[in-house]
Amino acid sequence: MKIKIVLALILLLVAAAGWFYYQMGNPLYKPSMVRDAFASAGVLLPPTPAGDDSTWLVEPGISLHYFQKGTGHDVLVVHGGPGYPFTEPIPALDPLTDRYRFSYYDQRGCGRSTKPVDRFSSSNFYKNLITLNKQLGLQAQIADIERIRLITGQDKLTIMGHSFGALIVAMYAAEFPDRVHALILNAPADVLLFPVADGGIFARIHDRLPERFRADYAQFQSQYLNFKDIFTKSEKDLQRLNAQFAGYYLTAVGTLSDPAAAMDWNLAGQPGWMVQAMYLAMGKRHDYREALKSVTAPVLVLHGAEDMQPESASRAYAELFPNAEFHTVPNAGHQSFEQNPEIFAELTTSFLDKHAK
């Protein structure tokens, strides 16, 4: 009898472990989570007063740094990365600043905004996971856009998002389609569906790296994507890891000649927990595509013709939104606003002048 009880307990523990592993693979963020939270508890209402001329206070203890350029119709600019804010206005948008005011902000957990997590004292993985997701996960970033709308008193937002920021913008629009006036998605991140068929950005970096760096990159990748001991790390530990990843990425696209050069950067300016919170929020598998079909606002999707990310990834967004147009920007990679500012400005100006006024 005792043996049977012990075996039953072992089977129960194995089943529980299997369920836990499966759940950890599922996304923590699912479309409608933010909207449902707002409807049920009003948790998106920002404090009063909600900041000053350089910060938006979106939650008690959470301030987002922002700056603006221009005058006229408001356009919110959402940076990519995750975790790499704009430190100055985009020069390509200067010709538009006589009729548009562009607001740039640092997302929570990076740049000059509040970094609410340093390290975890608990050894409870699940508890830490929930805390991290609440503080810095995808739903927190989406919720902040709605809080910004409320703070700035806008009925509907015109939003421009780059790379991972474009994903955040797209999911915000899916959560609050009636709060969106128009969207510009520049090189939207290839993570609507996960896992990605070709291995995604991590595999693309490997394929584009010079041969001499590939073995080190493979070793780094096994460490970088191993979340087993993630909660033993600190913000500084993760800033170092994220800087290493940035070094490999920039070497793959030809900006750096050696990934090690990234370690000479000021690590205090690198994102830490925010990046890993995004990975964990999306899980090992998710499909966010269906949610975009509810957005009827006009959408412009731009893709640099020489981007390491395939054109099909950007086109997928345009094909899902009911009212979208798609354009490639020639002679440009992932930052088309820098690499071909004239064409980027031309396409952006045409879209905004048609839809944002």
Crossing angle (nearest 10°) for helices 235-252 and 273-282? 80
Distances (CA, A) of 48 to 56, 120, 179, 307: 11, 30, 22, 43
pLDDT at 267: 78
Closest CA to 96 of 354, 346, 300: 346
pLDDT digits (tens, 9 = 90+) for 266-313: 777 789 999 999 999 999 899 999 999 999 999 999 999 999 999 999
Strands 180-186 and 299-304: parallel
pLDDT of residue 330: 98
pLDDT at residue 13 in the model: 36
Average pLDDT over residues 326-352: 97
CATH number for 15? 3.40.50.1820
Residues 7-43: pLDDT tens digits? 343 333 333 333 344 345 789 999 999 988 766 555 6
State the distance between the two ends of the chain, measured CA to CA, in whole angstroms: 76
The total number of structural domains that make up the chain: 1
Buried b (16+ CB within 10 A) or exposed e, 308-320: bbeeebbbbbbeb
* pLDDT over threshold 70, residue 145: yes
Q: Quick one: 13 exposed, middle or buried, by C-beta within 10 A (0-12, 13-18, 19+)?
A: exposed
324, β-bridge pairs: 299
* pLDDT band (50, 70, 90) for residue 4: very low
pLDDT of residue 169: 98
- The whole-angstrom separation of Cα 172 and Cα 163 is 15
pLDDT, tens only, 325-337: 999 999 999 999 9
pLDDT attached to residue 21? 40
Q: How confident is the model at residue 40, as a pLDDT?
A: 57
Tokens of 183: 């969207």
pLDDT digits (tens, 9 = 90+) for 223-271: 998 899 999 999 999 999 999 999 999 999 999 999 999 888 777 778 9
Q: What is the tens place of the pLDDT at every residue in 197-218?
A: 888 899 999 999 999 999 999 9
Question: Is 357 a residue whose pLDDT tops 90?
Answer: no
C-alpha to C-alpha distances, 112 to 13, 60, 143, 274, nearest whole angstrom: 44, 16, 19, 13
> Can you give the residue range of the structural domain that contains 326?
1-357
Cα of 35 vs its chain's centroid, Å:
18
- Return the DSSP state at 306: T
In this predicted structure, what is the pLDDT of residue 275?
A: 96
Task: Please tell me the distance from the alpha carbon of residue 107 to that of residue 82, in angstroms, as a whole number.
Answer: 9
30-34, 87-91, 99-103, 114-118: least confidently modelled range:
30-34
Non-local CB neighbours of 38 within 8 Å, separated by 6+ positions: 44, 143, 146
Distances in Å between the alpha carbon of 36 and those of 110, 125, 211, 235, 251? 26, 26, 48, 31, 42
Phi and psi for 49 in degrees, rounded to 5?
-70, 160
- Type of residue numbered 265: W
Q: What is the length of the chain?
A: 357
Per DSSP, the residues of 25-69 read HS-S--TTHHHHHHHHH-TTPPPSS-B-SSEEEEETTEEEEEEEE
pLDDT one-digit tens code per residue, 44-84? 788 888 778 899 999 999 999 999 999 999 999 999 999 99
Question: Helix, strand or coil for residue 331?
Answer: coil
Distance CA 109, CA 87 (A): 15
CA distance 57 to 66: 11
